[in-house]
Amino acid sequence: MSAAAPHVIVSPGPVHAALTSWYHHAARDLPWRRRDCTPWGVLVSEAMLQQTPVSRVVPRWQEWMRRWPEPKDAALAPVAEILTVWDRLGYPRRALRLREAAQTIVDRHGGRVPETADELRKLPGVGEYTAAAVACFAFEEPEVVVDTNIRRVLARLFAGQALPGKTYTADQRRLARDVFPDPEADGGQLACTWNIAAMELGALVCTARSPACSECPAAQLCTWRLAGSPPPTEEQRTRAQSWAGSDRQVRGAIMAALRIGGVVERSDLLDGLPLPTVDLVQRRRCLESLLSDGLAEQQGERVALPGAHSRC
DNA sequence: AAAGCGGGGCA
DNA sequence: TGCCCAGCTTT
């Protein structure tokens, strides 16, 4: 037993009622939430939404689903095309893994997205969160879903903290389980709605920077609010990864050049990138890492997106 | 448990 | 400029 474990004082029941009721009229109309969205569409959305805001995902999701409406379509798509459609969503390794997941679904699941969190978890790029989310949102399985929004909402509602801290700890996982609705109460309906409602509240009302507590359906039940909304501690404040000058920036610039230029001379890639600094060691390191990741391909003295045909 | 991995938008 | 955003993989 951990001495630092937060104890749930507020009864979860009224909070479940407040948030799920709120969700029914406040929810955004997102394409992957519609009745006619397939499990594959839900999986694609979750892969794209890993670390990328909804507003930037919507158009890329629509283009992806138009081209590859089923797993078998994405499984056959050239990597170059996958990465081009992915465009600047970021973390392009996610796109490769989504394609690999499609291939696994075809090879091992008859082309249909598996329905349980345990099976989903085995797919490339599918971790604890995504497995639970797809099982819940696509198949109405009452899995405990915990994303960055839900972590923050639970920290405030039940632990009285302004922010949940940078890493997902065992205490937070325990809290999420402790306040989760009874999965067997009504066939899992409440549990699934609770997941999406808590997530939506975190996205629209209980935001990280300036929460709109006056609009919160659970403000009167919120432990953090009742404690006077104490500010986050120094430890809870996340320190951002630097961006300028980072390998991620250089990798991103190389990928952008490959998407636009098709097949590019290796030398042009190393000294012709639109970046503020020219660090040849770093550029070489980043190019090698992209080749190693399978995000780029060497063709003689040229470099291209994997599968892109050379002009020779 | 911590580090690495994109990119855009807003305070 | 700093910070935030429907995480996963590797160590």
A243 CB neighbours strand B below 7 A = yes
Query: Which tens digits make up the pLDDT trace of A279-297?
Result: 999 999 999 999 999 999 9
pLDDT band at A1 (very low <50, low <70, confident <90, very high): very low
Number of H helices, E strands in chain A: 15, 3
Residue A52, CA: closest nucleotide via C1'? C5
Interatomic CA distance for residues A190 and A181, integer angstroms: 7
Q: How many domains does chain A have?
A: 1
> What φ, ψ does residue A187 adopt, rounded to 5°?
75, 15
In a domain, A152, yes or no: no
In this structure, is residue A256 part of a structural domain? yes
Q: Are A213 and A219 in contact (CB under 8 A)?
A: yes
> Does residue A26 lie in a domain region?
no
Distance A134 CA to C2 C1' (A): 33
- Interatomic CA–C1' length for residue A55 and nucleotide B9, angstroms: 11
Does A96 map to a domain?
no
Is A291 a domain residue?
Answer: yes
Give residue-wise pLDDT tens across range A154-183.
999 999 999 998 889 999 999 999 999 999
For strand B, is any atom closer than 7 Å to the CB of A51? yes
Question: How many Å from the CA of A166 to C1' of B4?
Answer: 15
- Give the CATH number, domain containing residue A260: 1.10.10
Tokens 């808590």 correspond to: A198
Which residues of A belong to the active site? 46
Segment A82-97, tens digit of pLDDT: 999 999 999 999 999 9
For residue A111, is it left (φ>0), alpha (ψ between -120 and 50) or beta?
Answer: left
Q: In this structure, are residues A73 and A63 in contact, taking their beta carbons and an 8 Å threshold? A: no
Considering only residues 171-230 of chain A, list those whose CB is below 7 Å from strand C.
199-200, 202-203, 207-209
A280 assigned to some structural domain = yes
Whether residue A106 is contained in a domain is answered as no
Q: Which of these, A24, A46, A53, lies nearest to A201 by C-alpha position?
A: A24
> For chain A, how many residues are written?
312
- Provide the CA A263 to C1' C7 distance, Å, integer: 31
Q: Considering only residues 154-173 of chain A, list those whose CB is below 7 Å from strand B.
A: 166-167, 169-170
Q: How many whole angstroms separate alpha carbon A44 and alpha carbon A61? A: 7
Note the pLDDT of residue A3: 39
Q: What domain range is A270 assigned to?
A: 247-304
